[in-house]
Amino acid sequence: MADSSQTDWQPRLGEQFIYNGRRYDLAKAKELIKATPRPVEPKPLSLFKSMYYEAVKIDWDKAEKTDLNVPLIAATEAEGKLVLIDGWHRYAKALRSRQNEVQVVTLTEEETKLIRH
């Protein structure tokens, strides 16, 4: 199994994701992942499918150019619920190419509290 240290995380100041009125600081999330490597795990596409239809607008030109080897980032909310906060274009590309799983790096619930505003 790969770990997150094999990815060149590139935090960009101001990078964020907003879902259900919550703002997630993606730059801070990437900094946490860089500081504390963790497993990259396969997760079923179905886990995030309901969010896909309500949370994002996909630029398909961008999606087609994305690298599916870069893991997506999920935040852990209360009761262990995962929220995909980074990688929606990669998710869309995986969905369109009929894959069953995507590679995901997961933030802990404590880390999620640090990046959520």
Q: How does DSSP assign 33-58, residue by residue?
A: HHHS--B-EEEEGGGGHHHHHHH---
CA distance 60 to 20: 23
Output the pTM of the full model.
0.94
pLDDT for residue 17 is more than 60: yes
Tokens (6 digits) for 64: 């087609």
pLDDT for residue 1 is more than 70: no
pLDDT digits (tens, 9 = 90+) for 85-103: 999 999 999 999 999 999 9
pLDDT of residue 20: 87
CA distance 32 to 4: 11
pLDDT: which is higher, 48 or 53: 48
